[in-house]
Amino acid sequence: MKKVTLLLIYLLLTSLSYGNTRLHPDKMYVKRLGDTIYIGTKFDEKSDLLICFRKCLNNNLMGFYQVGIAANTTDSPLTDVSRNPDKVINLAYSDNIGPISIEGNFCGANHCYKEDYTKKIKTATCDWFTFTADGKPLDNNRLIACNEVQINVVNTIYNPLLPTYGADGTTVISLDSVLCLEKVEYRVAGGSISVNTEHTYAQRDPVKVTTYYGMQSMAKGDEIYFPGGSTPDFVKKQAGINNPKSAYPELSSWIQRDSAGSWYEACWMNPSYELGKRALITEDDNMAFTSGTKVYHRLINGQVAKEGTINKWSGCYTWFTPLIDNDRLLCYEMTYNGGNYLFIQTKKAVSTVVDLPAGYTNHVYSVWHTDKTQSATTHSGKAPIKLVSKGPGTTILKIEN
Protein backbone atom coordinates (compact mmCIF):
# COMPACT_ATOMS: atom_id res chain seq x y z
CA MET A 1 0.00 0.00 0.00
CA LYS A 2 2.86 2.37 0.81
CA LYS A 3 4.41 1.80 -2.63
CA VAL A 4 1.08 2.55 -4.34
CA THR A 5 0.70 5.77 -2.37
CA LEU A 6 4.21 6.89 -3.27
CA LEU A 7 3.56 6.10 -6.94
CA LEU A 8 0.37 8.17 -6.93
CA ILE A 9 2.19 11.12 -5.36
CA TYR A 10 4.95 10.80 -7.96
CA LEU A 11 2.45 10.77 -10.83
CA LEU A 12 0.65 13.79 -9.40
CA LEU A 13 3.88 15.74 -9.11
CA THR A 14 5.11 14.85 -12.58
CA SER A 15 1.76 15.85 -14.10
CA LEU A 16 2.52 19.38 -12.90
CA SER A 17 5.94 19.52 -14.50
CA TYR A 18 7.07 23.01 -15.47
CA GLY A 19 8.79 21.69 -18.56
CA ASN A 20 7.63 24.36 -21.02
CA THR A 21 8.86 27.93 -21.18
CA ARG A 22 5.52 29.52 -20.43
CA LEU A 23 5.62 31.75 -17.40
CA HIS A 24 2.18 30.53 -16.36
CA PRO A 25 1.85 26.73 -16.54
CA ASP A 26 -1.65 25.31 -16.77
CA LYS A 27 -1.58 23.09 -13.70
CA MET A 28 -1.74 24.22 -10.09
CA TYR A 29 -2.54 22.93 -6.61
CA VAL A 30 -5.48 24.03 -4.47
CA LYS A 31 -6.50 23.18 -0.92
CA ARG A 32 -9.59 24.19 1.01
CA LEU A 33 -9.42 24.70 4.77
CA GLY A 34 -12.91 25.66 5.91
CA ASP A 35 -13.88 28.98 4.36
CA THR A 36 -10.36 29.63 3.07
CA ILE A 37 -8.71 28.27 -0.07
CA TYR A 38 -5.03 28.28 -0.91
CA ILE A 39 -3.75 28.08 -4.48
CA GLY A 40 -0.19 27.48 -5.65
CA THR A 41 1.30 27.57 -9.15
CA LYS A 42 4.74 28.11 -10.64
CA PHE A 43 5.62 31.80 -11.03
CA ASP A 44 9.07 31.39 -12.57
CA GLU A 45 11.94 28.94 -12.38
CA LYS A 46 12.83 30.10 -8.86
CA SER A 47 9.45 30.57 -7.18
CA ASP A 48 5.77 29.77 -6.76
CA LEU A 49 2.84 32.17 -6.81
CA LEU A 50 0.54 31.71 -3.81
CA ILE A 51 -3.04 33.05 -3.79
CA CYS A 52 -5.39 32.98 -0.80
CA PHE A 53 -9.16 33.56 -0.90
CA ARG A 54 -11.04 34.13 2.36
CA LYS A 55 -13.63 36.37 3.96
CA CYS A 56 -12.08 39.75 4.66
CA LEU A 57 -12.60 43.52 4.83
CA ASN A 58 -14.95 45.28 7.26
CA ASN A 59 -17.98 43.63 5.68
CA ASN A 60 -16.43 40.15 5.85
CA LEU A 61 -16.90 39.43 2.14
CA MET A 62 -15.32 36.56 0.22
CA GLY A 63 -12.51 37.65 -2.09
CA PHE A 64 -8.81 37.30 -2.80
CA TYR A 65 -7.06 38.27 0.40
CA GLN A 66 -3.36 37.73 -0.24
CA VAL A 67 -1.04 37.14 -3.18
CA GLY A 68 2.59 36.34 -2.61
CA ILE A 69 5.74 34.66 -3.90
CA ALA A 70 7.58 31.76 -2.23
CA ALA A 71 10.91 30.25 -3.15
CA ASN A 72 10.80 26.99 -5.12
CA THR A 73 13.54 26.01 -7.56
CA THR A 74 11.94 22.70 -8.55
CA ASP A 75 10.04 22.21 -11.80
CA SER A 76 6.67 21.74 -10.07
CA PRO A 77 4.74 23.88 -7.59
CA LEU A 78 5.15 22.72 -4.00
CA THR A 79 2.21 20.98 -2.38
CA ASP A 80 2.30 23.10 0.79
CA VAL A 81 0.07 25.79 -0.70
CA SER A 82 -0.92 27.21 2.70
CA ARG A 83 2.66 28.12 3.66
CA ASN A 84 3.48 31.77 4.23
CA PRO A 85 4.91 33.51 1.17
CA ASP A 86 8.43 34.90 1.35
CA LYS A 87 7.15 38.13 -0.16
CA VAL A 88 3.58 39.47 -0.03
CA ILE A 89 2.89 41.49 -3.16
CA ASN A 90 -0.83 42.19 -2.78
CA LEU A 91 -2.81 42.29 0.48
CA ALA A 92 -6.50 43.17 0.83
CA TYR A 93 -6.33 45.85 3.50
CA SER A 94 -8.91 47.80 1.46
CA ASP A 95 -11.30 47.33 -1.47
CA ASN A 96 -10.49 45.04 -4.39
CA ILE A 97 -13.54 45.37 -6.61
CA GLY A 98 -15.83 47.98 -5.05
CA PRO A 99 -17.49 49.88 -3.51
CA ILE A 100 -20.52 51.83 -4.77
CA SER A 101 -21.08 55.45 -3.76
CA ILE A 102 -24.77 56.40 -3.49
CA GLU A 103 -25.06 60.19 -3.36
CA GLY A 104 -21.69 60.36 -1.62
CA ASN A 105 -22.24 57.41 0.75
CA PHE A 106 -19.98 54.46 0.02
CA CYS A 107 -21.37 50.98 0.57
CA GLY A 108 -20.06 47.47 -0.01
CA ALA A 109 -16.49 46.15 -0.09
CA ASN A 110 -14.52 47.51 2.89
CA HIS A 111 -16.79 50.44 3.78
CA CYS A 112 -18.81 50.86 6.95
CA TYR A 113 -21.83 53.15 7.17
CA LYS A 114 -20.79 56.82 7.03
CA GLU A 115 -17.15 55.65 7.22
CA ASP A 116 -17.58 55.22 11.00
CA TYR A 117 -15.10 52.49 11.82
CA THR A 118 -15.85 52.68 15.53
CA LYS A 119 -19.48 51.56 15.28
CA LYS A 120 -18.67 49.44 12.20
CA ILE A 121 -22.20 49.24 10.83
CA LYS A 122 -21.96 46.90 7.87
CA THR A 123 -23.03 48.04 4.41
CA ALA A 124 -22.95 44.57 2.85
CA THR A 125 -23.17 40.88 3.73
CA CYS A 126 -21.95 37.74 2.01
CA ASP A 127 -25.00 35.60 1.26
CA TRP A 128 -23.19 32.57 -0.10
CA PHE A 129 -20.12 31.39 -1.98
CA THR A 130 -18.89 28.22 -3.67
CA PHE A 131 -15.43 26.82 -4.40
CA THR A 132 -14.87 24.51 -7.37
CA ALA A 133 -11.81 23.07 -9.12
CA ASP A 134 -12.26 22.17 -12.79
CA GLY A 135 -16.02 22.30 -12.22
CA LYS A 136 -16.07 19.96 -9.20
CA PRO A 137 -16.78 21.08 -5.59
CA LEU A 138 -13.70 21.36 -3.39
CA ASP A 139 -13.70 19.01 -0.44
CA ASN A 140 -12.32 20.30 2.84
CA ASN A 141 -8.69 19.56 3.73
CA ARG A 142 -7.87 17.81 0.46
CA LEU A 143 -5.08 18.75 -1.96
CA ILE A 144 -6.22 18.88 -5.60
CA ALA A 145 -4.28 19.28 -8.84
CA CYS A 146 -6.31 21.26 -11.36
CA ASN A 147 -6.30 23.72 -14.26
CA GLU A 148 -8.77 26.29 -12.92
CA VAL A 149 -10.31 27.25 -9.58
CA GLN A 150 -13.62 29.08 -9.59
CA ILE A 151 -15.02 31.10 -6.69
CA ASN A 152 -18.62 32.28 -7.05
CA VAL A 153 -19.87 34.85 -4.57
CA VAL A 154 -23.22 36.55 -3.96
CA ASN A 155 -23.35 39.60 -1.69
CA THR A 156 -26.19 41.87 -0.63
CA ILE A 157 -25.30 45.57 -0.58
CA TYR A 158 -27.55 47.78 1.53
CA ASN A 159 -28.98 51.21 0.77
CA PRO A 160 -27.14 53.83 2.87
CA LEU A 161 -29.99 56.30 2.31
CA LEU A 162 -32.45 54.09 4.25
CA PRO A 163 -30.81 53.18 7.57
CA THR A 164 -32.56 51.37 10.42
CA TYR A 165 -32.94 53.46 13.57
CA GLY A 166 -33.03 52.36 17.18
CA ALA A 167 -35.78 52.93 19.72
CA ASP A 168 -34.80 56.60 20.14
CA GLY A 169 -35.56 57.25 16.49
CA THR A 170 -32.26 59.00 15.87
CA THR A 171 -29.48 56.42 16.36
CA VAL A 172 -28.65 54.30 13.33
CA ILE A 173 -28.22 50.68 14.39
CA SER A 174 -28.00 48.86 11.05
CA LEU A 175 -28.62 48.89 7.31
CA ASP A 176 -31.35 46.49 6.19
CA SER A 177 -32.89 47.95 3.04
CA VAL A 178 -31.45 46.19 -0.01
CA LEU A 179 -29.72 48.37 -2.60
CA CYS A 180 -28.49 45.67 -4.97
CA LEU A 181 -27.40 42.09 -5.33
CA GLU A 182 -23.71 41.72 -6.18
CA LYS A 183 -22.57 38.60 -8.03
CA VAL A 184 -18.84 38.03 -8.47
CA GLU A 185 -17.20 35.19 -10.36
CA TYR A 186 -13.46 34.69 -9.82
CA ARG A 187 -11.63 32.33 -12.19
CA VAL A 188 -8.08 31.53 -11.09
CA ALA A 189 -5.75 30.00 -13.69
CA GLY A 190 -2.26 30.52 -15.09
CA GLY A 191 -1.20 33.02 -12.42
CA SER A 192 -4.24 35.21 -13.19
CA ILE A 193 -7.56 36.03 -11.53
CA SER A 194 -10.37 36.82 -13.96
CA VAL A 195 -13.18 38.81 -12.33
CA ASN A 196 -16.73 38.96 -13.70
CA THR A 197 -19.04 41.22 -11.71
CA GLU A 198 -22.76 42.01 -11.89
CA HIS A 199 -24.92 44.38 -9.83
CA THR A 200 -28.72 44.10 -9.99
CA TYR A 201 -30.44 47.02 -8.27
CA ALA A 202 -33.46 46.18 -6.12
CA GLN A 203 -34.36 49.42 -4.30
CA ARG A 204 -37.86 50.88 -4.77
CA ASP A 205 -36.84 54.46 -5.61
CA PRO A 206 -34.15 55.54 -8.11
CA VAL A 207 -30.75 56.42 -6.63
CA LYS A 208 -27.77 58.29 -8.02
CA VAL A 209 -24.55 56.30 -8.28
CA THR A 210 -22.07 59.12 -7.82
CA THR A 211 -18.99 56.88 -8.05
CA TYR A 212 -18.20 53.29 -8.89
CA TYR A 213 -14.57 52.30 -9.42
CA GLY A 214 -14.95 48.58 -9.99
CA MET A 215 -11.41 47.28 -10.25
CA GLN A 216 -8.70 48.40 -7.82
CA SER A 217 -5.25 47.24 -6.76
CA MET A 218 -3.31 47.24 -3.54
CA ALA A 219 -0.15 45.78 -5.04
CA LYS A 220 3.03 46.81 -3.25
CA GLY A 221 4.64 48.14 -6.39
CA ASP A 222 7.39 50.76 -6.44
CA GLU A 223 6.78 51.71 -10.09
CA ILE A 224 3.75 51.97 -12.33
CA TYR A 225 3.01 52.19 -16.05
CA PHE A 226 -0.26 53.13 -17.77
CA PRO A 227 -0.02 51.81 -21.39
CA GLY A 228 -1.50 54.38 -23.73
CA GLY A 229 -1.88 56.71 -20.77
CA SER A 230 -0.06 59.55 -19.05
CA THR A 231 3.14 57.56 -18.33
CA PRO A 232 5.23 56.65 -21.40
CA ASP A 233 7.07 54.01 -19.36
CA PHE A 234 7.41 52.92 -15.74
CA VAL A 235 7.59 55.81 -13.30
CA LYS A 236 7.76 56.05 -9.53
CA LYS A 237 4.41 55.12 -8.04
CA GLN A 238 2.88 58.06 -6.23
CA ALA A 239 -0.50 59.62 -5.59
CA GLY A 240 -2.00 61.93 -8.18
CA ILE A 241 -1.17 60.16 -11.47
CA ASN A 242 -4.25 60.88 -13.58
CA ASN A 243 -5.51 59.63 -16.93
CA PRO A 244 -8.56 61.64 -18.07
CA LYS A 245 -10.85 60.04 -20.65
CA SER A 246 -10.57 63.05 -22.95
CA ALA A 247 -6.82 62.50 -23.33
CA TYR A 248 -6.55 58.70 -23.01
CA PRO A 249 -9.87 57.19 -24.16
CA GLU A 250 -8.48 53.72 -24.90
CA LEU A 251 -6.61 53.18 -21.64
CA SER A 252 -7.58 49.77 -20.26
CA SER A 253 -4.81 48.70 -17.87
CA TRP A 254 -1.95 49.54 -15.61
CA ILE A 255 1.09 47.53 -14.60
CA GLN A 256 3.00 47.73 -11.34
CA ARG A 257 6.37 46.25 -10.50
CA ASP A 258 8.89 46.29 -7.68
CA SER A 259 12.06 48.32 -8.13
CA ALA A 260 14.11 45.17 -8.82
CA GLY A 261 11.71 44.01 -11.55
CA SER A 262 11.30 40.65 -9.80
CA TRP A 263 7.50 40.69 -10.15
CA TYR A 264 4.88 42.56 -12.15
CA GLU A 265 1.12 42.91 -11.67
CA ALA A 266 -1.23 43.91 -14.50
CA CYS A 267 -4.83 45.03 -13.90
CA TRP A 268 -6.79 45.00 -17.13
CA MET A 269 -10.41 46.05 -17.68
CA ASN A 270 -12.09 44.56 -20.76
CA PRO A 271 -12.77 47.71 -22.84
CA SER A 272 -15.32 45.98 -25.09
CA TYR A 273 -17.67 44.73 -22.37
CA GLU A 274 -20.42 46.67 -20.60
CA LEU A 275 -19.03 49.19 -18.06
CA GLY A 276 -15.53 48.70 -19.46
CA LYS A 277 -16.61 50.77 -22.47
CA ARG A 278 -16.61 53.80 -20.08
CA ALA A 279 -19.89 55.18 -21.40
CA LEU A 280 -20.96 56.15 -17.86
CA ILE A 281 -18.06 58.49 -17.09
CA THR A 282 -17.46 61.99 -18.43
CA GLU A 283 -14.61 63.23 -20.61
CA ASP A 284 -13.07 64.89 -17.54
CA ASP A 285 -13.15 61.71 -15.44
CA ASN A 286 -10.09 59.54 -15.03
CA MET A 287 -10.07 56.22 -16.81
CA ALA A 288 -7.57 55.10 -14.16
CA PHE A 289 -5.60 56.92 -11.47
CA THR A 290 -3.51 56.60 -8.33
CA SER A 291 -4.61 57.73 -4.87
CA GLY A 292 -2.49 57.09 -1.81
CA THR A 293 -0.87 53.69 -2.32
CA LYS A 294 -3.79 52.33 -4.39
CA VAL A 295 -4.68 52.34 -8.09
CA TYR A 296 -8.21 52.57 -9.47
CA HIS A 297 -10.24 52.19 -12.63
CA ARG A 298 -13.35 54.38 -12.79
CA LEU A 299 -16.54 53.02 -14.35
CA ILE A 300 -19.48 55.18 -13.23
CA ASN A 301 -20.02 58.85 -12.46
CA GLY A 302 -23.59 60.04 -11.90
CA GLN A 303 -25.70 57.14 -13.18
CA VAL A 304 -29.33 57.03 -12.02
CA ALA A 305 -29.98 53.41 -11.06
CA LYS A 306 -33.58 52.23 -10.94
CA GLU A 307 -35.06 48.99 -9.66
CA GLY A 308 -33.95 46.36 -12.17
CA THR A 309 -30.89 48.27 -13.44
CA ILE A 310 -28.05 45.81 -14.14
CA ASN A 311 -24.38 46.82 -14.35
CA LYS A 312 -21.61 44.44 -15.38
CA TRP A 313 -17.88 44.49 -15.96
CA SER A 314 -15.11 41.99 -16.60
CA GLY A 315 -11.37 42.23 -16.07
CA CYS A 316 -8.26 40.38 -14.99
CA TYR A 317 -5.42 40.60 -12.49
CA THR A 318 -2.25 38.78 -13.47
CA TRP A 319 1.19 38.40 -11.91
CA PHE A 320 4.19 37.68 -14.08
CA THR A 321 7.78 38.21 -15.09
CA PRO A 322 7.74 39.74 -18.58
CA LEU A 323 8.63 38.14 -21.88
CA ILE A 324 9.87 41.55 -23.03
CA ASP A 325 10.36 44.83 -21.16
CA ASN A 326 12.50 47.45 -22.87
CA ASP A 327 12.20 51.07 -23.93
CA ARG A 328 9.80 50.12 -26.76
CA LEU A 329 7.65 47.21 -25.60
CA LEU A 330 6.19 45.39 -22.63
CA CYS A 331 5.00 41.86 -23.43
CA TYR A 332 3.45 39.26 -21.12
CA GLU A 333 0.90 36.46 -21.01
CA MET A 334 -2.48 36.62 -19.28
CA THR A 335 -5.04 33.87 -18.68
CA TYR A 336 -8.51 35.42 -18.94
CA ASN A 337 -11.83 33.59 -18.67
CA GLY A 338 -10.40 30.29 -19.84
CA GLY A 339 -8.23 31.61 -22.68
CA ASN A 340 -4.54 32.49 -22.92
CA TYR A 341 -3.62 35.90 -24.32
CA LEU A 342 -0.42 37.67 -25.27
CA PHE A 343 -0.40 41.35 -24.32
CA ILE A 344 1.97 43.60 -26.28
CA GLN A 345 2.00 47.18 -25.04
CA THR A 346 3.99 49.80 -26.91
CA LYS A 347 5.69 52.68 -25.14
CA LYS A 348 6.26 54.69 -28.32
CA ALA A 349 5.78 54.50 -32.08
CA VAL A 350 7.37 51.28 -33.36
CA SER A 351 7.57 49.13 -36.44
CA THR A 352 9.09 45.83 -35.44
CA VAL A 353 8.98 42.07 -35.37
CA VAL A 354 8.20 41.01 -31.80
CA ASP A 355 11.12 38.89 -30.60
CA LEU A 356 9.33 36.20 -28.60
CA PRO A 357 11.08 33.52 -26.51
CA ALA A 358 11.37 30.09 -28.07
CA GLY A 359 8.40 28.66 -26.16
CA TYR A 360 6.08 31.11 -27.88
CA THR A 361 7.20 30.86 -31.49
CA ASN A 362 5.24 27.71 -32.44
CA HIS A 363 1.82 28.76 -31.18
CA VAL A 364 -1.10 29.83 -33.36
CA TYR A 365 -2.24 33.40 -32.70
CA SER A 366 -5.24 35.50 -33.67
CA VAL A 367 -5.47 39.27 -33.25
CA TRP A 368 -8.07 39.71 -30.51
CA HIS A 369 -7.86 43.46 -29.78
CA THR A 370 -5.89 46.46 -30.99
CA ASP A 371 -6.04 50.07 -29.86
CA LYS A 372 -6.49 52.55 -32.71
CA THR A 373 -2.76 53.28 -32.63
CA GLN A 374 -1.86 49.63 -33.21
CA SER A 375 -1.69 47.16 -36.10
CA ALA A 376 -0.52 43.56 -35.78
CA THR A 377 -0.10 40.77 -38.31
CA THR A 378 1.09 37.17 -38.07
CA HIS A 379 2.56 34.71 -40.55
CA SER A 380 -0.49 32.52 -41.25
CA GLY A 381 -1.41 32.75 -37.57
CA LYS A 382 2.10 32.00 -36.31
CA ALA A 383 5.20 33.94 -35.34
CA PRO A 384 6.83 36.14 -36.42
CA ILE A 385 4.40 38.80 -35.21
CA LYS A 386 4.79 42.12 -37.01
CA LEU A 387 3.70 45.11 -34.94
CA VAL A 388 3.26 48.65 -36.20
CA SER A 389 2.31 51.33 -33.70
CA LYS A 390 1.75 55.03 -34.21
CA GLY A 391 2.26 55.59 -30.50
CA PRO A 392 1.63 54.09 -27.05
CA GLY A 393 -1.14 51.49 -26.79
CA THR A 394 -2.18 47.86 -26.42
CA THR A 395 -2.39 44.89 -28.79
CA ILE A 396 -3.82 41.59 -27.54
CA LEU A 397 -3.31 38.30 -29.35
CA LYS A 398 -5.24 35.18 -28.40
CA ILE A 399 -3.08 32.06 -28.13
CA GLU A 400 -5.20 29.52 -30.00
CA ASN A 401 -3.12 26.48 -29.14
Residues 312 and 386 in one domain: no
Helix/strand/coil for 338: coil
> Does residue 109 contact residue 99 with C-beta atoms inside 8 Å?
yes
Q: How far is CA 181 from CA 19, 199, 202, 299, in A?
A: 44, 6, 7, 18
Query: Quick one: 124 and 158 in the same domain?
Result: yes
Does residue 223 share a domain with residue 120? yes
How far out from the chain centre does Cα 349 lie? Answer: 28
Domain boundary, last residue among 263, 285, 320: 320
pTM above 0.85, yes or no: yes
pLDDT in tens, the chain (401 residues): 444 444 443 334 333 433 334 444 568 999 999 999 999 999 999 999 999 999 999 999 999 999 999 999 999 999 999 999 999 999 999 998 889 999 999 999 999 999 999 999 999 999 999 999 999 999 999 999 999 999 999 999 999 999 999 999 999 999 999 999 999 999 999 999 999 999 999 999 999 999 999 999 999 999 999 999 999 999 999 999 999 999 999 999 999 999 999 999 999 999 999 999 999 999 999 999 999 999 999 999 999 999 999 999 999 999 999 999 999 999 999 999 999 999 999 999 999 999 999 889 889 999 999 999 999 999 889 889 999 999 999 999 999 98
Distance separating alpha carbons of residues 289 and 293, to the nearest angstrom: 11
**Domain enclosing residue 350, as ranges:** 328-399
Domain boundary among 276, 295, 320: 320
3 contacts: CB under 8 Å, gap ≥ 6: none
Same domain, 280 and 361: no
CATH code of the domain covering residue 249? 2.70.98
For residue 354, the domain's CATH number is: 2.60.40
Residues 240, 350 within the same domain: no
CA distance 153 to 56: 13
Q: Are residues 97 and 61 in the same domain?
A: yes
Say whether both 393 and 268 belong to one domain: no
Same domain, 204 and 157: yes
Other residues' Cβ atoms within 10 Å of the Cβ of residue 398 = 16
Q: Is there a single domain that holds both residue 82 and residue 54?
A: yes
**312 lies in the same domain as 177:** yes
**Same domain as 297, residue 192:** yes
Do 350 and 329 meet the contact criterion of CB atoms below 8 Å apart? yes
Domain count within the chain:
2
d(CA 126, CA 112): 14
Q: Is the distance from CB of 40 to CB of 67 less than 8 angstroms? A: no
Radius of gyration over every alpha carbon of the chain, rounded to an integer in angstroms: 22
Both 368 and 233 in one domain: the answer is no
User: Among residues 262, 296, 320, which one ends one of the domains?
Assistant: 320
Strands (E), 72-206: 87-91, 100-102, 105-107, 124-133, 136-137, 143-146, 149-158, 163-165, 172-175, 178-189, 192-201
